[in-house]
Amino acid sequence: KAGVTQTPRYLIKTRGQQVTLSCSPISGHRSVSWYQQTPGQGLQFLFEYFSETQRNKGNFPGRFSGRQFSNSRSEMNVSTLELGDSALYLCASSEGPGGSGNTIYFGEGSWLTVV
């Protein structure tokens, strides 16, 4: 069974631009969650989707958004990029909503550099 796939793996963007990251969960998994990891703040929860509905959202500004499609694939978008958005963005999937007794499986992440 293929793991969680994230694309692109690496990208460089300019301040003010927007970026879209993609995540394909493990087949059969309906829950997808997104995280940001920076050296200063560590891992932080962005949002969680289950069956195309956003269930939870972390403490991030509205520039960070996401969605989930009917095939459970998910995208996250960051608009008006700032230098501080440079980070590793990780996606994880699980069979059911996270925290409800389901193991979560992480992708390799997308490294975003904003210049």
Binding site for other proteins (CB under 8 A): 33, 35, 37, 42-45, 48, 55-56, 58, 88, 90, 92, 98-109, 111
Looking at beta carbons only, is 8 or 16 nearer to other proteins? 8
Q: Decide whether 16 or 99 has the Cβ nearer to other proteins.
A: 99
3-state class percentages of the chain: helix first, strand second, coil last, to nearest 5: 5, 50, 45
- CB-nearer residue toward other proteins: 16 or 61: 61
Cα 48 to Cα 1: distance, rounded to the nearest angstrom: 22
Provide the β-strand partners of residue 46.
none
